[in-house]
Structure 1
Amino acid sequence: MKYIKHLLIIVMMLFVSNQIVQAHAIWIESNPVGTKNQSHTIRIYYGEYASGEIEKTKDWYSDLSQLKLNLLDSKNKQVELHLTDKGAYLESSFIPVEDGIYQVFISHPAKELGGTTRYEFIAQNRIQVGKTAAYSSIPLDTHFVFANQLLKVKDQVEIQLLRGNNPVENEEILLMSPSGWSKTYKTNNLGKIQVEVIWPGTYVIEHSHMADQSGTWNNKSYTKNWQGLTASFQVK
């Protein structure tokens, strides 16, 4: 009887752990416009943006606080940026030395499984320095494409979801506003959604995907693989 009671407790703990992980994400915040030869600050948060819940780094899931932040510069050269733990977020900075598009991104599979699910946390942001530049690819399997500029209230924002270079059709993208309002959109045949921004502040977009996938991760078997992708943009 005692064994069954302990087993039920473990199962419940795993279930709760799964629910917590699925409800949380990492996201990157930074000014979308940078200035050449001036330091540009980047911050990484973990929690539930829609409800204003930000976890302290000591409470981040598994080894998520040990993630790596990568920078793809205007010449498509990739470097890892140093991160400083600020307690409520991780912070980094870089100095752009040329005009162009700079992209920061994270792709971190958590060390621990949630039950039998492997969790991958993915986040991206784009920073424009100088004149407008054409879209450049980013080394993430799934990623967003959207205008990297300071937007204004009532602007229409086009967001595209790509897997590789291919549009992802009929998939959900969650838009979370700084007011706490959020809405789920479905991509069209071009992998795009159109949203109107009606409050100033930082918006976070999120796409998650759960796949039946079997394998071994850190000597433990998993049967599902979850990917959560986020990006953010700012509205004046």
Structure 2
Amino acid sequence: MYYVKQLLIAMIVLFGGNQIVQAHAIWIESNPVGIKNQSHTIRVYYGEYATGEIEKTKDWYSDLNQLKLNLVNSENKVELKLTDKGDYLEASFVPAKDGIYQIFVSHPAKELGGTTRYEFLAQSQIQVGKDAAYAAIPLAAHFIFQNKIFKTNGLVEIQLLRGNSPVADKEVLVMSPNGWSKNYKTDSQGKIKAEAIWAGTYVIENSHMADQSGTWNDKTYNKNWQGLTASFQVK
């Protein structure tokens, strides 16, 4: 059965273009609130959150299981050591100061999907204490929303930016922990207001496909896809 599945994946990549990786994404899960001088755990997953599919790390697309997890705050940027846990990659750090810690992944996959280059972006924020000092997250695109645990039956305002500019009229997929998901379209300021009906972790996603030509690992591509995710928690 494993070999049939692998053959099917190879055929989709070869004949179906970019379907295989567009259906899956990297996302980060972590408590958005940390405590100074206490270890804080971060997990990185790959799969399809909307349908509850979490891929084993050995089955991650291309070289995704070799991605780097970075942390940046108002003072420095460091790479966090990841441990393979079978279903996810895990890291931890001890925040020494109050402030906002940005956690992120920016990984262009080694292999092309047909003639498309794939970049996986994921982000998370951790608030320690009340200090609001933080560094801008160094991603080509990113989300902005309040760094807290949200309440059920409320709305979560989310803004999508590319560089420092709001991205208008683009779809943002919001996926709940119970299988419900909904596509929202950003307004002129790149914002949506997502419904937070159930408790748990929500994952948000935006995909961007651009006509772009180049060479990647000695292979020619004519499109560049970026998939961006973030997560927030509701109680």
Normalized against structure 2, the TM-score is what? 0.93
Q: Counterparts of 1:15-164 in structure 2 under 5 Å?
A: 15-16=15-16, 18-73=18-73, 75-131=74-130, 133=132, 136-164=135-163
For residues 232 and 15 of structure 2, the distance between their equivalents in structure 1, rounded to whole angstroms, comes to 33
* SS across alignment from 2:105: strand
User: Offset at 1:67?
Assistant: 0.2
User: Offset at 1:135?
Assistant: 6.5
Quote the residue 1:5 is aligned against. none
For residues 158 and 100 of structure 2, the distance between their equivalents in structure 1, rounded to whole angstroms, comes to 17
Change in 2 beyond 3 A, CA 1:132/1:36: same
User: Structure 1: which 5+ runs fail to align?
Assistant: 1-9
* SS across alignment from 2:111: coil
Quote the residue 1:221 is aligned against. 220
* SS across alignment from 1:179: coil
For residues 12 and 126 of structure 1, the distance between their equivalents in structure 2, rounded to whole angstroms, comes to 35
CA contact (8 A) 2:101 2:134 kept: no
Change in 2 beyond 3 A, CA 1:96/1:116: same
Amino acid at match of 1:165: N
State the identity as a percent: 73
CA contact (8 A) 2:202 2:233 kept: yes
Change in 2 beyond 3 A, CA 1:82/1:193: same
* SS across alignment from 1:50: helix
CA contact (8 A) 2:109 2:120 kept: yes
Q: Give RMSD over aligned pairs.
A: 1.4
Amino acid at match of 1:133: A
Deviations 1:161-188 (A, max 9, x none): 0111111111110000001000000111
* SS across alignment from 2:58: helix
For residues 162 and 230 of structure 2, the distance between their equivalents in structure 1, rounded to whole angstroms, comes to 15
User: Offset at 1:20?
Assistant: 1.7
Amino acid at match of 1:90: L
* SS across alignment from 2:143: strand
User: Offset at 1:76?
Assistant: 3.9
Quote the residue 1:7 is aligned against. none
Amino acid at match of 1:22: Q
Change in 2 beyond 3 A, CA 1:17/1:214: closer
Change in 2 beyond 3 A, CA 1:131/1:211: same
User: Offset at 1:154?
Assistant: 1.2
Aligned residues: 226
Amino acid at match of 1:137: A
User: Offset at 1:136?
Assistant: 4.4
CA contact (8 A) 2:17 2:115 kept: no
User: Offset at 1:18?
Assistant: 2.8
Change in 2 beyond 3 A, CA 1:97/1:13: closer
* SS across alignment from 1:37: coil
CA contact (8 A) 2:13 2:113 kept: no
Amino acid at match of 1:31: N
User: Structure 2: which 5+ runs fail to align?
Assistant: 1-9
For residues 225 and 35 of structure 1, the distance between their equivalents in structure 2, rounded to whole angstroms, comes to 39
Amino acid at match of 1:32: P
Quote the residue 2:196 is aligned against. 197
Matching of residue 210 in structure 1 with residue 209 in structure 2: yes
Quote the residue 2:183 is aligned against. 184
Q: Counterparts of 1:7-18 in structure 2 under 5 Å?
A: 14-16=14-16, 18=18
Change in 2 beyond 3 A, CA 1:228/1:76: farther
